[in-house]
Chain A
Amino acid sequence: MRAQHDCQHLLDDLSLYLDGEASAGLCAEIERHLADCENCRVVVDTLRKTVHLVRDLPPPPFSAAARERLYKSLDLDEFLSPKR
């Protein structure tokens, strides 16, 4: 990395940057650094892609059988109807 100190300093703020929560000043500082630092650019791009892939994961389903067991255990089986 070009300047190890800058890389480490900016590393802590990359999620703020990716989430659009960084101040204008911080964004400009990060973008200036990325223009010159290939390693940090890779970290930012792959971090962004990681977040994208995570958000695309299908949620684990709560099965109809598990739902039925839950309603029965809570003494709510009179409200059991086919899952909407």
Chain B
Amino acid sequence: MTDIDERAFVERLRAGDKSACAQCVEAHAPGVYRLALRLLGDEAEAEDVVQETFLSAFKAIDSFEWRAGLNTWLYRIAYNAALMRLRRRTPLSTAVELPPDDGETATPRELFDWCCLPERDLESAEARAHLEQAIRELPEKLRAVFVLRELEELSTEQTAEALGISPENVKTRLHRARLWLRERLAGYFTEMAGAGKEA
């Protein structure tokens, strides 16, 4: 949708045009659901977040500003709704401690070169399940950035807008999330290669 088309579309939403609301849900609900699911790890809760997101968005559409697109705004609402649920679920005292965004990046520890493993091992259902699990276990601050940038393919600027952080922090957190996942995958593939040799 071009910028002009989107402005006309938002005007229809503001006028309470139900067909535009349905069009908006059709276009954006799957992405909002994927974000909520990957943040919360629970299908029922993710569905609730999707519902809350569209209810809030249609109610607050008059306050929508053109800083970023409609898509980014919906992700922002969904992120805040999911965050509230995570806060209720996890007391702050048990949150994973991370270095600040301007702190030093952790040095990689796993140095086995698993790139040479056969594709069938790298892309097996078990490896994918392990990767999905690792994404779910990413520290919360990193996970939101990672999901929006890497999986939902938002730009650095859109992600910054959706999460209310600076573009520089988006870049730092994306990089740390990738390194964190690399460590987790390396552990898994190293073990797999070791087991293969022993067999």
- Give the B-binding residues of A (Cβ under 8 A): 7-8, 11-12, 14-16, 39, 42-43, 45-47, 49-51, 53-57, 59-62, 66-67, 69-71, 73-76, 78-79, 84
Binds A, one of B7-15, B62-70, B110-118: B110-118
Chain B: residues with Cβ within 8 Å of the partner, total of 46
Q: Which residue of B lies closest to A80 (CB)?
A: B22
Q: Which residue of A lies closest to B21 (CB)?
A: A76
Complex alpha-carbon distance, A14 and B37, angstroms: 29
- Taking A46-B185, A62-B30, A66-B47 as contacts, is the C-beta distance between A57 and B151 under 8 angstroms? yes
Complex alpha-carbon distance, A74 and B179, angstroms: 40
Total cross-chain contacts (CB, 8 A):
109
Q: Which residue of B lies closest to A14 (CB)?
A: B175
Binds A, one of B89-97, B101-109, B191-199: B101-109
Asked if A53 contacts B123 (CB within 8 A), the reply is yes
Residues of B within 8 A of A53 (CB): 122-123, 127-128, 131, 185
Q: Which residue of B lies closest to A75 (CB)?
A: B18
Complex alpha-carbon distance, A8 and B34, angstroms: 34
Q: List 21 A-B contacts (CB under 8 A).
A: A11-B179, A14-B179, A15-B171, A15-B174, A15-B178, A42-B111, A46-B113, A46-B185, A53-B123, A53-B127, A55-B151, A59-B30, A59-B34, A70-B25, A70-B29, A70-B51, A73-B55, A74-B21, A74-B58, A76-B22, A76-B25
Residues of A within 8 A of B114 (CB): 46, 49
Chain B window 1-45, contacts with chain A (Cβ cutoff 8 Å), 1 for yes, 0 for no: 000000000000000001101100110011001100110000100
Complex alpha-carbon distance, A70 and B90, angstroms: 27
Minimum CB–CB distance from A7 to chain B (whole Å) comes to 8
Interface presence of B181 (CB below 8 A): yes
Asked if A8 contacts B51 (CB within 8 A), the reply is no
